[in-house]
């Protein structure tokens, strides 16, 4: 990174715009709290007067395309620099991409037409695809080609999501949401398998578990099939449970090989394993269940525990590393990691076991989620808007 960046030019760039993780981790974490608080309020009081879309649609869309996609953007826009050796997106160019993300979050609360909001959001995802894609193609980084079609699929899903509000496509909003949950599950599965065993083995000084091709296939191919089946509900009803069970068992076997049981002394590592564990648990819960309420509620085990949990652990780790700090000498975050996993279990297993207390469970889970991301903001926001402590660019 030092060799591909002119330090004199870098010093003129505001620290918050020097690399993608800085603005997107900060804004994404703040929005994680705002979006959940608004949803819990709307769920219990009704449709907000100024919100131009249905509250439930807004909740799911914003947790996926708002919060989660912001973190993904921050991660890949920073990581692609390490993958390719080509300087990452920064300064005004990065600021423009941040603006493309921020505008739809605001426009939902104005009379702006949905075609405008959806187009801006699509441009945001397209910008990420371009910034990653041209670097990967330029350096022939075959291993990371899959990001390009992955983001293009997300653009199509984004437009489809908006279209369902008007009843235009031959499928429902739920189909699009389901497909994007599988999109994120597949992304976590691929990226988790790359980084979690590597971080674990490196921290605890043992040989990293080498990938097994057939096991990775059993983990990922069913997820890709589930993404497609989201748009074919009759077939999905018959086939999806078996795919979930296959993927869930394979994910568990693969996780055992990563030796997460050796990581309990290091919160920054066990948090990754704990969050990732929610993937196979949610797959098996939904795969074996024949009850719609249980299956639907089980989605939150993934959405909060896996997606939120892995995100929280990764953004803490990436922030430490990319701001020039020693990764394992940062702020104590075990309370935050524990809170988000507990939130996932309460919102899923707690609601399933005690449905009569659902509102209380939702409130408790929202408070725990807020504590988790609030602690991240408290400890890491100053790192994100300040220069690297080692004086290096980035």
Cβ density class 307-345: b for 16+ within 10 Å, e for less:
bbbbbbbbbbbbbbebbeeebeebeebeebbbbbbbbbb
Residue 338: per-residue pLDDT: 97
Task: Transcribe 6-74 into DSSP letters.
Answer: -HHHHTTS-GGGSSTHHHHHHHHHHHHHHHHHHHHHHHHH-S-TT-SS-HHHHHHHIIIIIIIHHHHHH
**Long-range contacts formed by 196-200: CB under 8 A, 24+ apart:** 196/258, 196/272, 196/273, 196/276, 197/257, 197/258, 199/269, 199/272, 199/317, 200/258, 200/259, 200/260, 200/262, 200/263, 200/269, 200/272, 200/273
Query: Considering only CA atoms, which of 79, 60, 84, 63 is closest in space to residue 19?
Result: 79
Which tens digits make up the pLDDT trace of 89-99? 999 999 999 99
Residue stretches of the chain with pLDDT short of 50 = 1-2
Residue 260: per-residue pLDDT: 93
Largest CA distance in the chain: 62
Residue 5: per-residue pLDDT: 62
**CB of 332 within 8 A of CB of 305?**
no
Q: How many residues does the chain have?
A: 394
H helices of the chain, in order, are 7-10, 21-45, 55-61, 69-84, 91-107, 114-138, 147-165, 173-204, 213-229, 233-257, 267-288, 292-300, 309-322, 334-345, 351-353, 358-384
Query: Considering only CA atoms, which of 285, 393, 292, 290 is closest in space to residue 348?
Result: 285
CA dist., res. 155 & res. 353, Å (int): 37
Q: Output the pTM of the full model.
A: 0.92
Residue 220: per-residue pLDDT: 96
Residue 122: per-residue pLDDT: 95
- CB contact set of 255 (below 8 Å; sequence gap of 6+): 273, 276, 277, 280
- CB contact set of 392 (below 8 Å; sequence gap of 6+): 1, 2, 324
- CB contact set of 257 (below 8 Å; sequence gap of 6+): 197, 209, 212
**Which tokens belong to 237?**
């009803």
**Which tokens belong to 90?**
């920064």
CA dist., res. 79 & res. 20, Å (int): 9
**CB of 372 within 8 A of CB of 308?**
yes
């Amino acid at each position: 990174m030092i060799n591909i960046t002119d330090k004199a030019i870098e010093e003129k760039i505001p620290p918050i715009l020097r690399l993608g993780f800085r603005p997107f981790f900060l804004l994404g974490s703040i929005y994680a709290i705002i979006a959940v608080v608004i949803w819990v309020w709307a769920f219990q009081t009704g449709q907000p007067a100024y919100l131009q879309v249905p509250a439930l649609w807004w909740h799911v869309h914003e947790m996926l395309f708002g919060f989660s996609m912001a973190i993904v953007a921050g991660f890949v826009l920073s990581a692609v620099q390490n993958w390719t050796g080509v300087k990452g997106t920064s300064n005004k160019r990065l600021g423009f991409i941040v603006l493309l993300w921020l505008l739809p979050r605001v426009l939902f609360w104005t009379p702006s037409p949905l075609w405008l909001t959806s187009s801006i959001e699509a441009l945001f995802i397209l910008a990420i695809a371009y910034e990653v894609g041209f670097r990967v193609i330029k350096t022939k980084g075959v291993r990371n080609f899959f990001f390009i079609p992955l983001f293009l699929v997300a653009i199509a899903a984004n437009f489809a999501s908006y279209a369902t509000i008007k009843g235009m496509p031959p499928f429902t909003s739920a189909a699009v949401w389901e497909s994007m949950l599988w999109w994120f599950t597949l992304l976590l599965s691929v990226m988790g398998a790359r980084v979690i065993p590597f971080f674990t083995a490196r921290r605890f000084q043992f040989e990293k578990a080498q990938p097994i091709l057939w096991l990775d296939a059993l983990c990922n191919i069913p997820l890709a099939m589930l993404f497609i089946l989201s748009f074919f509900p009759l077939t999905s009803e018959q086939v999806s449970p078996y795919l979930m069970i296959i993927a869930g068992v394979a994910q568990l076997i693969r996780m055992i090989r990563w030796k997460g049981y050796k990581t309990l002394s290091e919160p920054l590592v066990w948090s990754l394993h704990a969050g990732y564990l929610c993937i196979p648990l949610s797959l098996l819960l939904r795969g074996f269940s024949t009850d719609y309420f249980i299956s639907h509620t089980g989605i939150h085990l993934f959405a909060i525990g896996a997606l939120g949990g892995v995100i929280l652990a990764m953004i803490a780790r990436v922030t430490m590393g990319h701001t020039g700090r020693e990764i394992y000498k940062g702020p104590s975050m075990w309370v935050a990691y524990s809170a988000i996993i507990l939130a996932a279990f309460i919102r899923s297993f707690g609601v399933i076991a005690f449905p009569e207390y659902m509102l209380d469970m939702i409130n408790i889970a929202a408070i725990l989620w807020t504590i988790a991301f609030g602690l991240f903001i408290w400890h890491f926001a100053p790192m994100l808007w300040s220069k690297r402590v080692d004086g290096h660019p980035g």
